[in-house]
Amino acid sequence: MADPSPHQMVSCPYNKAHQIEHYRMHIHLQKCRKQYPNCKKVSCPFDSTHMVNEMELDHHVRTCPKRELLDQQMYIIDNDHRPVVELQQPPPIRCEENWDDDACSSSYVPDPAKMPSHIIKKVKGATPSERRKARMEAIANFKPRE
Ligand SMILES: [Zn+2]
Ligand SMILES: [Zn+2]
């Protein structure tokens, strides 16, 4: 059931003879409910702390602020189901900040085309012994600072 537009005339839950514009209904209800002090109270399905007259429940669930909150949360939850693209930071080049450190600057080649010295390169298409040699060289060149 679609919500009435603000200026749509809706009938008062207490008295169908009361035709009130929807956006003013809550004002009318404040006055009108006083004539029905013994009306059964029920709790709002969206927030159990909302005690409303059973007669008003229909109106209340349509205008309950908690319902809007719930709708917004549903929307946010929906968004969370979208795939999240994680940005991966490149590995930090630890030597960059330590040009005065001999152990570092001697092994660091400032050539952007080359990988930082602390990354052990994989040699593709090499024989196992060549790969091992390349790996050992990379390890030999790799000088951890700590
Ligand atoms: Zn009324
Ligand atoms: Zn409510």
- Residue ranges per structural domain of the chain: 9-80, 99-141
Is the pLDDT at 33 greater than 60? The verdict is: yes
Mean pLDDT of 4-10: 89
pLDDT of residue 98: 59
Tokens 């209904």 -> residue = 25
41 burial level (CB within 10 Å; 0-12, 13-18, 19+): exposed
**Exposure b/e, 128-139, CB count within 10 A at least 16 = b:** eeeeeeeeeebe
Integer CA distances (angstroms), 125 to 7, 121, 130, in order: 76, 13, 9
Answer yes or no: pTM beyond 0.85.
no
Q: How far is the CA of 70 from the centre of ligand 1 (A)?
A: 28
**Ligand with an atom nearest the CA of residue 63:** 2
Compute the distance between CA of residue 137 and CA of residue 61 in angstroms, rounded to an integer: 72
**Ligand with an atom nearest the CA of residue 69:** 2
Q: How far is the CA of 66 from the centre of ligand 2 (A)?
A: 6
List, as ranges, residues with CB under 5 A of the ion ligand 1.
12, 14-15, 18, 32
CB 42 within 8 A of CB 13: no
| Phi and psi, residue 48, nearest 5° | -70, -10
**Beta pairing partners, 41:** 53
Q: How far is the CA of 79 from the centre of ligand 2 (A)?
A: 25
Q: How far is the CA of 29 from the centre of ligand 1 (A)?
A: 6
87-145 pLDDT, tens per residue?
677 776 665 555 565 555 555 656 666 665 555 555 566 678 887 887 888 878 777 76
pLDDT of residue 130: 81
**Ligand with an atom nearest the CA of residue 28:** 1
35-85 pLDDT, tens per residue?
999 999 999 999 999 999 999 999 999 889 898 787 777 766 665 556 666
